[in-house]
Amino acid sequence: MTRKKLSGFDVVLVGFGWTGAIYAEKLTAAGLEVLALERGPWRDTSKDFATTFAQDELRYYWRHGMFQETAQSTLTFRNNGAETALPMRHWGSFLPGNGVGGSGVHWNGQTYRFLPSDFVVRSHNEERYGPLPDGMTVQDYGVTYDELEPHFDYFEKICGICGKAGNLNGQTSPGGNPFEGARSSEYPNPPMQMTFSQDRFEASARDLGLNPFPVPSANMSRAYVNPLGLQLAPCTYCGFCEKYGCGNYSKSSPQTTILPVLMERPNFTLRTESEVLSIEKSPDGSRVTGVTYVDTSGDSFFQPAEMVVMCAYPLENTRLMLLSQIGTPYNPQTGKGVVGKNYCYQVMSGATVFFEDEFTNGFVGAGALGMAVDDYNGDNFDHSGLGFIGGGYIACYTTNARPIESHPVPDGVPEWGSAWKQSIAANFLKTATVGVHGASMAHRSNYLDLDPTYTDRHNRPLLRMTYDFTQNDRRLTNHLTPVAEDIARGMGGREVKVSERTGAYDSVPYQTTHNTGGTIMGTDPQTSVCNRFCQSWDMPNLFVAGAGLFPQNAGYNPTATVGALAYWSVDAIINQYLPDPGPLVQP
């Protein structure tokens, strides 16, 4: 394997999804020469997911058409340190993306802001409830909601998010989420049009004294032009969002909201099919000098850069840091070290309503078409005596009725044979789901490191995930799932089936692609990888993007917070770092 040295760039971005596009757009606008290196191929609407073939359930979901292939790279998994981790030979519980746009191509578009208290989980909860239990390694982000607000606002305008404000500049705004942090402006677009299931959910939630609001959606409720001049089309409610590209330019993605402008800029370069193998350091270890990557020829290249931003998926960012020996790896025995620390996920549960006469017609759907309540999220309710912190939203979405994936049957129906088949035919168009989207609080024993046995196609160690649900998770889900059941029972169906979250975390059934932590941000280099500007504590010219920064995961989908953190960080690079390159926070 040869290693050729290439001419340098001001900035190299590792990975080119949502955060790569955000950093690239802002840094090229500031005049820098930017190169993005993407492991996967170029992808765009007309070529890769046109309306004539985008709705292919087998190809895109079940055969993983746009996801990372585990043959390229996967991770190993075990529930606890006493087990031997084994490779995820094909994906199950989550689906990392691949190619230009990353997971931003095939997300649902549920675009919630985290609550103000989600950014100060340790200090807020300790102040209100006293010391947190041993082993719960939750931390403050080091950045507050108020500091991020302008960046949430901008990301929503780039995306054209559809919703209804509940708190406009501190004033309660009817119809929105009364628990949200203060917003500086109304959503750029009105909420999506709701269907039968949301109407029933809303009525039932109101009867219970809860506060339903329309889910903030990146599926367009009307035509929209964003601040970069790019146009989005009204959503057609086709029911193929998550796991699929939108053929209709109706879902915010890097391709629809940023790339057409970025690709016109002479100081932006994108190389696809270029997989970064390691981040390179100067001999004294004080800064990064660039990256080494391999292309499809098998040749490897040294790409010099004055600054590197890690924009890959959180799991890959953590692995690259460990492989590159940047930062101290986390040690679960001592609790010392930081890289790989605080891996978190999401605690999902729910209740399905089966209707007798009414049709829910789930195929008329969209990824973020839903109504939600936040009464049991974050610290919106009193946790005294409950034995857990955090919460989750409870929502009724109508995302799809894709038939390989969606065949809910009532309790007691066998899993195959005539009775199963007939039950599917009877219930296929007559169900609605009330889901709990539970937070995941960090625990000392849940972490990421390098696997001692299994390697990828370049013979580099795979990432190893050691993860199980914690006592906090179990108490949280036990408290919230009955609320979802109560709402479901008020929706007028024939029967309700409850899907509790019990037992060990299972890597097999799909739950959600919300993997967080591993490269967490914080206030202290002893306990975090990055400072509050998402800058590596160890290497001032290395920045990290994505949900790997989250010290723990909130009861929401991560994308809005990922976007806001990227805009916050790139703003600090342009206005503070470039005039005076060095650490933006003194340890």
Partner 1 sequence: MSYSTRRGVLKTLLFGGTALATPSALWAVEYGRGEGMPWAPMRGDPPYYGTTDARFFTPDERAAVAAISARLIPSDDDGPGATEADVVTFLDRQMAGFYGRGQHWYMKGPFAEGTDTQGYQSEYPPAELYRHALAELDAYCRAQDDESFAGLSEGRQDEILTGLDEEKITFDAVSAKVFFDLILKNTIEGYFADPIYGGNRDMVAWRYVGFPGTRYDYRDFVNHGGAPIQLEPVSLMGRPGWSRP
CB of 237 to partner 1, least distance (A): 4
Distance CA 352, CA 502 (A): 17
| Interface mask toward partner 1 for 403-442; x: CB under 8 A | xx--x-------xxxx-xxx-xx--xx-------------
50 vs 184 by CB, closer to partner 1: 50
Binders of partner 1 in range 195-214 (CB under 8 A) = 195-196
What would you report as the CA-atom Rg of the chain, rounded to the nearest whole angstrom? Answer: 23
Q: Identify the residue among 74, 177, 380, 531 touching partner 1 (CB under 8 A).
A: 74
Paired with 463 in beta bridges are: 75, 450
Binders of partner 1 in range 561-580 (CB under 8 A) = 578
**Backbone dihedral angles phi then psi of residue 256, each to the nearest 5 degrees:** -90, -20
CB of 37 to partner 1, least distance (A): 8
CB of 367 to partner 1, least distance (A): 14
**Strand pairing of 341-344 and 347-354?**
unpaired
Per CB under 8 A, 461 contacts partner 1: no
Binders of partner 1 in range 23-52 (CB under 8 A) = 28, 30-33, 41-42, 44, 46-48, 50-52
Q: Is 514 a catalytic residue?
A: yes
CB of 19 to partner 1, least distance (A): 17
Per CB under 8 A, 130 contacts partner 1: no
CB of 286 to partner 1, least distance (A): 16
User: Among the options 106, 383, 479, 514, which is catalytic?
Assistant: 514
Distance CA 268, CA 262 (A): 7
Binders of partner 1 in range 251-280 (CB under 8 A) = 259-260, 262-274
Q: Identify the residue among 137, 177, 248, 380 touching partner 1 (CB under 8 A).
A: 248
13 vs 549 by CB, closer to partner 1: 13
| Burial (CB count within 10 angstroms: exposed 0-12, middle 13-18, buried 19+), residue 500 | middle
User: How many CB atoms neighbour CB 174 within 10 A?
Assistant: 9
Binders of partner 1 in range 88-107 (CB under 8 A) = 88-90, 92
Binders of partner 1 in range 340-359 (CB under 8 A) = 355, 357-359
Largest CA distance in the chain: 72
Instruction: Please choose, from the candidates 407, 411, 311, 302, the residue with its C-alpha nearest in 3D space to the C-alpha of residue 100.
Output: 311
Could you tell me the two tokens for 187?
A: 């959503």
User: Count of residues binding partner 1 (CB under 8 A)?
Assistant: 111
Per CB under 8 A, 499 contacts partner 1: no
Write down the residue that tokens 């009105």 correspond to.
Answer: 190
Per CB under 8 A, 450 contacts partner 1: no
3-state secondary structure of 93: coil
- Angle, helices 471-489 vs 196-207, to 10°: value is 100
**Strand pairing of 224-225 and 231-232?**
antiparallel
Could you tell me the two tokens for 22?
A: 């955000």
Per CB under 8 A, 84 contacts partner 1: yes
128 vs 359 by CB, closer to partner 1: 359
Instruction: Please choose, from the candidates 219, 584, 190, 131, the residue with its C-alpha nearest in 3D space to the C-alpha of residue 398.
Output: 219
Instruction: Please choose, from the candidates 239, 498, 164, the residue with its C-alpha nearest in 3D space to the C-alpha of residue 349.
Output: 498
CB of 351 to partner 1, least distance (A): 19
Half-sphere exposure of 423 (CA within 13 A, CB side): 16
Instruction: Please choose, from the candidates 380, 367, 375, 397, the residue with its C-alpha nearest in 3D space to the C-alpha of residue 197.
Output: 397
328 vs 499 by CB, closer to partner 1: 499
CB of 429 to partner 1, least distance (A): 5
Per CB under 8 A, 185 contacts partner 1: no
396 vs 564 by CB, closer to partner 1: 396
Binders of partner 1 in range 468-487 (CB under 8 A) = none
424 vs 585 by CB, closer to partner 1: 424
Strands, E assignment, 467-579: 495-499, 516-518, 542-544
Binding piece for partner 1, criterion CB under 8 A, among 59-67, 128-136, 339-347, 551-559: 59-67
What lies within 8 Å, CB to CB, of 258 at 6+ separation is: 21, 22, 24, 25, 158, 228, 230
Per CB under 8 A, 495 contacts partner 1: no
Q: Identify the residue among 178, 304, 387, 482 touching partner 1 (CB under 8 A).
A: 304
Binders of partner 1 in range 213-242 (CB under 8 A) = 234, 236-239
Catalytic positions: 514
